[in-house]
Structure 1
Amino acid sequence: MEEIFLTSRQIDQLASLAKSSLPNESCAFLLGKNDRITEILPMQNADRSAISFSIKPQQVLQAYDLAESKKMQIIGIFHSHPAKPAPSSTDKRFMEINPVVWLIYSTTEHRFKAYVYDTDVREVVVKIITA
């Protein structure tokens, strides 16, 4: 995947989720088809941490079931960082086993960046579209 498409409303929703989760990292699944996000599914950060996030296995299964029932896929994982919007070493390890787009929002720089892992971590273009 070279790019991911979100609406300005979805961008605002994710930024709001990140800000409301402070001082902890926020997280969500991004549902859709191909490279187009159609639904955001906020998740609870089980770590309750400012430097990491995890999602309980039961919530992960529910998210996949919901996506399947709506004939969508989980095409991305969103989370926030209290620093620059770049994958941490922990993120990189989890990106290898979760080969979807990882969208990161910086709560200090107020900007988004997206990444995917194929043979290495590479940036994906975030495109903002009208609904």
Structure 2
Amino acid sequence: MSIEVTSQVFEALDRASRSAYPREACGLLLGEGERISTFIETRNVHATPETHFEIDPQSLIDAHRSSRHGGPEILGHFHSHPQGDAEPSSTDLELAAGDGKVWAIWGRGDLRFYRSGKAGFEALSLHIVDG
């Protein structure tokens, strides 16, 4: 399986990860179908943001509300692993809903994309597109 990501979103994810260091960055991935065209950086409201992430609930509510009114669909979530690899951690595996959403994970300068399914995470091929 593959996912398309605009070059602007790809660069924004990298920028957010580097600027949040040493805390985990997080946010929402929006778009349509298999194309991520928008990134909304959110506050990490977890009590220990150096090792965990929790997307600001109000940002999530606002994105759902916007989607219901014709805005882009929430395709998934993003977070960084400031001290780890761009792979799902044991915590990610434990917390994933298995709902088919995309997870983008940044770690050590690398950015990878996965789909959360009933059997865990499936790595996605990345295609960076203009737009």
Range class of TM-score, shorter chain: 0.7 to 0.9
Could you list the runs of 5+ residues in structure 2 that have no partner in the other structure? none
The answer to whether the 8 Å contact 2:98/2:118 transfers is no
Query: How far off is 1:50 after superposition?
Result: 1.6
Task: Quote the residue 1:10 is aligned against.
Answer: 9
Aligned mates of 1:28, 1:70 — CA distance in 2: 20
Aligned mates of 2:61, 2:34 — CA distance in 1: 22
Could you list the runs of 5+ residues in structure 1 that have no partner in the other structure? none
Q: Give the percent of matched residue pairs that are identical in Structure 1 and Structure 2.
A: 28
Task: Quote the residue 2:76 is aligned against.
Answer: 76
Task: State TM-score, norm by structure 2.
Answer: 0.88
Query: How far off is 1:97 after superposition?
Result: 5.0
Task: Quote the residue 1:55 is aligned against.
Answer: 55
Paired residues, what number? 128
Aligned mates of 1:128, 1:38 — CA distance in 2: 10
Query: How far off is 1:117 after superposition?
Result: 2.2
Q: Which moved more, 1:50-59 or 1:11-20?
A: 50-59
SS in 2 for 1:127: strand
AA in 1 matched with 2:93 = K
Note the aligned Cα RMSD (angstroms): 1.6
Task: Quote the residue 1:93 is aligned against.
Answer: 94
Task: State TM-score, norm by structure 1.
Answer: 0.88
Q: Deviations over 1:20-64 (max 9, x none)?
A: 111100011011110111211111000151211002333321121
Task: Quote the residue 1:114 is aligned against.
Answer: 113
